[in-house]
Structure 1
Amino acid sequence: MLSRIIYCTAVLLATIAVILLALFSPQPYRKNLTPFVALSFYIRQPRVTGPEASPVEPPPPPAGALIFHHTLTEGPENTSQVVGKAQGFIIPVESFAHSAFNIIYLTIHTNQYSGSISIQAKSLIHKEREVLGIVGGTGSFAFVRGLAVFAKTDEAIYHIKLHLKFSNGS
């Protein structure tokens, strides 16, 4: 009889605990509550210092591949805070112009966002201003879509404006 009372009490306490947890547990944490976000960054060539520093090399010939690893900063100044990096692999040859390999990856680490954004670079025309499509991301930018506007501001600096649209489940 005593074991039956203990068993019923344990079941009752477990049921009460489940109900209380369901009623008073905190909501899941979400970083992005707004479905649209606009961000602005600057892409700069890496700073090379010391005796091995050499002048900026000319761009590769049109038939070669363009592989780059640049710094992503908050502003255009040399003293701007570095918030990530921009990396890419682009084959500007006409037969590869619409290749899935032509992607620019932005990796961003700020107080508000942490993750990466994939930008499709299929339609590069090498103008002073390019509008490219965002095809996905990771971390804070999971499943993001939108546009990336690249504008050349200096010989070694690009201003990038990101117009992001998050999916409903973000």
Structure 2
Amino acid sequence: MLSNNITFCVSVTLAVLVVILLATLSPLPHRNTSSKPWLALSLYIQQPKTATKPNTQAVAPQDAGALIFHRVLTEGPKNTSRVIGKAQGFIIPAEQFARSGFNIIYLTFDTHEYSGSVSIQAKNLGNGRKDELTVVGGTGSFAFVRGLAVLTQRDDRDTDVVVPYHIRLHLKYPNRSKAVPG
């Protein structure tokens, strides 16, 4: 009986020593110290290649139900620039829905640097040439980002050239140093 108790105590002591040694000698998880909490991107949303008359502007009618669009996202202003993703959106231009939570623009990326999407709330979208919109989240490489999206368009009504929208993203990643409770 005494030998069983001694064997049990030795086994428990060895198990405790192994756990302590593993805890002190195990390498720490790899932490990416070069990752920055902010990211700035400059992109272009290409317009459809339809011919328009000079001095006219394509504007959605005021009584339109919804504007649903699917555009190409490029890294440069020319339509031959490298495609890095797509821009899709759903906007209700009617006055009673101007502040609607449904007004969202999704930018999806598919490059070797970034894979995922950014969601931009477009409820303050105006008719001006520059709009500041709110980034409300993301997925993949952009998981949980917040920030600002500045959407601008040059005024080239004197030419037949279709001008892309320029979008600058200023993204802030969440503080990843906090432990997730659970």
- TM-score normalised to structure 1 length: 0.77
> Quick check: 2:130–2:150 contact (8 Å CA) kept in 1?
yes
Q: What's 1:91 paired with?
A: 92
Question: What is the count of residue pairs matched by the alignment?
Answer: 162
Q: Is the 8 A contact 1:43 1:70 kept in 2?
A: yes
TM-score, length of structure 2 as denominator length? 0.73
- Aligned-pair CA distance for 1:20: 4.1
Would the aligned equivalents of 1:89 and 1:101 in 2 still touch at CA under 8 Å? yes
Extract unaligned runs of 5+ from structure 1. 48-54
Q: Which residue of 2 aligns with 1:51?
A: none
Residue 124 of structure 1 corresponds to 125
Superposed displacement of residue 135, structure 1: 0.8
1:32–1:140 CA contact under 8 A, matched in 2: no
Largest Rg, 1 or 2: 2
Letter in 2 for 1:60: A
Deviation at 1:162, TM superposition (A): 0.3
- Structure 1 vs Structure 2: percent identity of aligned residues? 52
- What letter matches 2:168 in structure 1? K
Secondary structure class of the residue paired with 2:96: helix
The alpha-carbon deviation at position 95 of structure 1 amounts to 0.2
Equivalent position of 2:116 in the other structure? 115
- Tell me by how many angstroms 1:28 deviates: 4.6
Structure 2 unaligned spans of 5+: 53-57, 155-160, 178-182
CA RMSD of aligned residues (A): 3.1
Indicate how the Cα distance of structure 1 residues 56 and 90 shifts in structure 2: closer, same or farther if over 3 A, else same.
farther
Are residues 124 and 87 of structure 1, via their aligned partners in 2, closer, same or farther at CA, if it must alter by over 3 Å?
A: same
Matched position secondary structure for 1:95: helix
Residue 160 of structure 1 corresponds to which residue in structure 2? 167
Report Cα offsets for 1:132-166 as digits up to 9, x if no partner. Answer: 11111111111111110111137340111001111
- Structure 1 CA distance for aligned equivalents of residues 166 and 24 of structure 2: 47
Aligned-partner residue type, residue 40 of structure 1: S
Compare the two structures and name the one with the higher strand fraction.
1
